[in-house]
Structure 1
Amino acid sequence: MKFILAFTLLAVDCVSALGPAAVNLRTAGNYAILAKTGISTVPKSVITGNIAVSPAAGSFLTGFSSTPPTTFSTSTQVNGQLFAADYKSPTPSVLTQAVLDLGTAIVDANGRTNGTGLILNLAAGNIDARILTPGLYKWTSGVNIPTLVVFSGTARDTWILQVAGTLNLGSASQTLLIGGAVAKNIVWVVGGEISIGAGSRVSGILLGSTAATLKTGATLNGRILVQTAVALQKATVTQPK
């Protein structure tokens, strides 16, 4: 009986993960939200994890009513710490590296190719009600999800979704994870603006070359790491485990 159990566990452990190699966020992964030009909130948002702006100063963390900074500050809206480029050392150099690591992650995710395994321009970008199995997806324009998208895979499987244009999720839309799929293994790399509709429930890592907006009541299980600004409107962001 012990032999059968051990063999079963070994067989499960040897099952290969599906999808592309994971994107290494490096120190950018230390933040639930990281932006270069600003992070704003319409209170009350609820953020679990650290947030940071760089090279922007702490004055570009708006709406948080944060405490006076040392190497970090705090806010009742953030279950974590707030950081900015003008806080006390070593914060500025730490954030400089995090922003560089964000740029590296974006280049990495955007540069992935998978030969004939690449899924190109699925549904011409309107992927509403689609079930996405692990893999590398690419759209040469924008992506719209009016109501629902499903990620089906195990906790080991990965997705990289390259979007040249905008990423728009409609009001009350959701990303559904089934089969054990986890948010930290879903990476959206988006060239245009990211817009998450009011009341939406979204999962995944959002890497953006421009701005991201989470509208009223939107919920993200993931991270928002962008090269311009993040705007939260009474939104909830929880970094994935």
Structure 2
Amino acid sequence: MSNAEVAVWELLGTTTLLLLGVGVVANVTLRRSLGHGGGWLLISFGWGFAVFVGASVSAPSGAHLNPAVTTGLAVAGKVDWARVPVYVAAQLVGAVLGAALAWLAYKLQFDTHDDPAGTRGVFCTGPTVPGWPWNLLTEVIGTFVLVAWVLLSPTALAGEHGVPRFGNSALGYAAVAFVVVGIGCSLGGPTGYAINPARDLGPRIAYALLPIRGKGDAEWGYSWVPVVGPLLGGALAGLLFLALPV
């Protein structure tokens, strides 16, 4: 597959991921939305399903959707380092576009929300208790779990007539959706579990640029944490893969 084809599929998949992911947070957060007050479980499941749909869309490119996954695969020797910039650029652009589309879908709800300065959390993450070293560690751990699962989870064994009978391949991209939901429910509380640099940085850029009524600050001072943490977590998972007799 050419670099251009990789970029197109990753762009489409990440746009879909962020459209649905930012969309579920908007649905829960904005007061004049039917999902208002749905809580953390709705957000976690919404993001999990968003990963399922986005990964299904971008299957031809390998469905990375995440610079941390791309980095982990490159460290593990499963992706050529020369292709990493292509993946990451497409993922970041797709994240900006997806977040902007989610804003368009909820434009009236944003316009009538009673706390417009507090809408940044619809787009990007932030710590419940600020403490950058610990916030960074939380993102490293959460992303490590995700990328280690991608690298180490068993594939399907072929059963009768070639039908998969064991392993995550039997579930398709639903399997990784369960992992994302699990991470959100278990490790998402401290920082909102970005576990994906594009998922956080792209919507943060969109939030800074979009004409949202009364919006607050994009909090660029924190923005490096959900970028560096996931990249470190992905790289560590790749190193673990190399160290194990897989």
| TM exceeding 0.5 | no
**TM-score, normalised to structure 2's length?**
0.28
- Report which of the two has the higher share of strand: 1
- Report which of the two has the higher share of helix: 2
